[in-house]
Amino acid sequence: MLPFSKKNDVDFFNLLIQSAENTLKGAQLFRSAMMGDRPPATYYEQLRELEHKGDSITHQIYKGLNLVFMTPLDREDILEMAVKVDDVMDGMEATIARFDYMQIGFSNGVMKQFSEVLVESCDHILQAFKLLSKKKYLQIREHTIQINSLENEGDRLMREGIREIFSNPKDPYHDFKLKEIYERLEQTTDACEDVADILASVVLKYA
């Protein structure tokens, strides 16, 4: 059921916060998968459930945009934020899926560091959305700056991880699997930065 405000409009801010909260839970679960004692792929079903929940929230936002005439922000901004947050969740689910179908039964230091980057990035997205709902636009900048910095850390981790693969090559299949994981994780940190870029644009429009 769509949440409504006192004006009987769809509460898009609440939906975006719900989406960000769900994505943060996904990031925390992904971190557990990387840090845990059991194979990462055993977390796949739990993460897929969160991914489906995220899809449902995004669908509610789509539906809401088609229902109401007045929106608190430009429709395009609301839609882009919803889609990009969903991309972050999709990226984590797709990464765990690779552990499953490529039969990777371990994580390493690079993957663990990536998981920390994702948790921090998703937390900043959530805090920024909460500020957005209160129209505290200038305070959002601190979080977008941090997300951009974390995306740079993701770039660094991917470069170092791939450099290690080529510096100390092992079995080609093993190396291919690692490269796949690193690149998918870096794309997921890119999706976090995409959210930050939209937020920065919103700040310029409304601050």
For residue 42, give its domain range.
Answer: 12-206
Per-residue burial over 89-100, b = 16 or more CB atoms within 10 Å of its CB, e = otherwise? bbbbbbbbbbbb
The answer as to whether 171 is a domain residue is yes
The model's pTM is 0.94
The answer as to whether 16 is a domain residue is yes
Beta bridge partners of 4: 10
pLDDT tens for the chain, residues 1 to 207? 555 444 447 899 999 999 999 999 999 999 999 999 899 999 999 999 999 999 999 999 999 999 998 999 999 999 999 999 999 999 999 999 999 999 999 999 999 999 999 999 999 999 999 999 999 999 999 999 999 999 999 999 999 999 999 999 989 999 999 999 999 999 999 999 999 999 999 999 987
The answer as to whether 34 is a domain residue is yes
The answer as to whether 3 is a domain residue is no
DSSP per-residue string spanning 142-173: HHHHHHHHHHHHHHHHHHHHHHHHHHS---HH
The answer as to whether 1 is a domain residue is no
How many domains does the chain divide into? 1
Instruction: State the virtual CA torsion across 167, 172, 178, 180 in degrees, nearest 10.
Output: 120
Residues 6+ apart with CB under 8 A from 25: 50
CATH number, domain of 200, equals: 1.20.58.220
The answer as to whether 4 is a domain residue is no
Residue 191: Cβ within 10 Å count: 22
Integer Cα distance of 14 and 85 in angstroms: 14
